[in-house]
Amino acid sequence: MWPVYFNTEEGWMICMTGTKGLGSRRNLCRIDLKSKSKIWERDVKSAQEFEMSTKLNDSTLLFVGNGLYSVDINNGEGWRLETNMQEISNENYGLYSLVSSVRVCSNPFVDGSDIYIAGIKRLIKTDRNGKELWHARLPEQKTSISRLFATEDYLLMVNMGFAPHSYSFYYTYLGKWGKPFLAAYDKKTGKNVYMHERKKYVDYIKDVEFRDDDALFLLFADKEGHQSVERYQANTGALMGRKEVAPVVIQSSGSMNAFVGSDVCVKKDNKFVHLVEMDTVGVYVVCDNGVLHLDGGLKSTDFISFNDLFVYNGKYGDLRFYSHGKETVVVDGEDREVATLDFPDVFCTESQIYSIKDKSLYVINKEQLY
């Protein structure tokens, strides 16, 4: 039994039950954390582990297994929409041959009353009751892990070119799978509008960032060390700008890994400013040694060391917490630094502040921080 969703305030969790291994059959159940009793159990008829995706409403959760599954938290009931999201691969290593299970799917994308998900062979649109509205065929030999987004008229699919390979329940790694491409589909009909596949200097799309102005930024890389950031117009697929980062820059910054989220900050004029607010048209990319900043035209770059970066880690009352290396800086409502904690992360509940360090759980006295 292992958890896939929990609600600590109400004191319950939803778990998967079954044998941990490839091909084993699994069920879902809800456990009351106080009485340790089973409230309900549902046979989901899945040989794959479940991942919590999103909440459709206050009482309905959406999970991804071998397809989509809705679960009513009160009784476990719900619909399922099956589609193939698992491929068996025979991998040869000289004299040895290993069989692995490869996970090929997208994030479920909820757009109003519609839900979209991509598997190995199909991109599917369904309503909130699990009724299939249309499906589009996908290039089976190219499809991998993918990310879905939407404009007003089109569903966008960014195929990443890699997927998780599992030799057992305990050992999984991300490996090359399929071909990276960018595609768009008409949301009403499922008709493919365009599909662009880059064939030179690219093995993976390492990350994607979608903007409100229908701009897509893609981070490409190949096994030879080439790395580039490209900007596309989502509705047409037109390439708007491209920057292949020079090897000398990568030697200094380290390999580019992902676009920066909204929680990364720098300290400017004694205030913590989020990077995405400093340049709303450019992009920031997390590298091995810090963050690389590219301007809106993808022409020039500058580098910010990890020593100058802070990560927003939540708040407690009027206190805000910023992780900085192995420490956490505590700031009050007037941007004054009131404490520095010898912990890289903190976790806040309504009544306590916690941290974990050296395999020990610490309770932090919140009164001493004010």
pLDDT digits (tens, 9 = 90+) for 212-236: 888 999 999 998 889 999 999 999 9
- Greater pLDDT, 127 or 169: 127
Q: What is the DSSP secondary structure assignment for residue 251, as one 8-state letter? A: H
Global pTM reads 0.90
Which ranges of the chain would DSSP assign to H, the alpha helix? 247-253, 275-278
User: Per-residue confidence at 108, pLDDT binned at 50, 70, 90?
Assistant: very high
Radius of gyration of the chain, Cα coordinates, nearest whole angstrom: 23
Confidence of residue 311 (pLDDT cuts 50, 70, 90): very high
Query: Picking from 34-43, 91-100, 341-350, 353-362, which range would have the lowest pLDDT averaged per residue?
Result: 91-100
Q: How much helix, strand and coil, in percent to the nearest 5, is found in the chain?
A: 5, 55, 40
- Say how far apart CA 224 and CA 135 lie, in whole Å: 37
| Residues 6-51: tens digit of each pLDDT | 998 899 999 988 765 555 667 899 999 999 999 999 988 776 667 8
Check residues 150 and 93 and name the one with the higher pLDDT.
150
Please check the confidence at residue 149 and state whether its pLDDT lies above 60: yes
122, 138 Cβ separation under 8 angstroms: yes
DSSP letters for 144-187: -SEEEEE-SSEEEEEE-SEEEEESSSS-EEEEE-S--EEEEEET
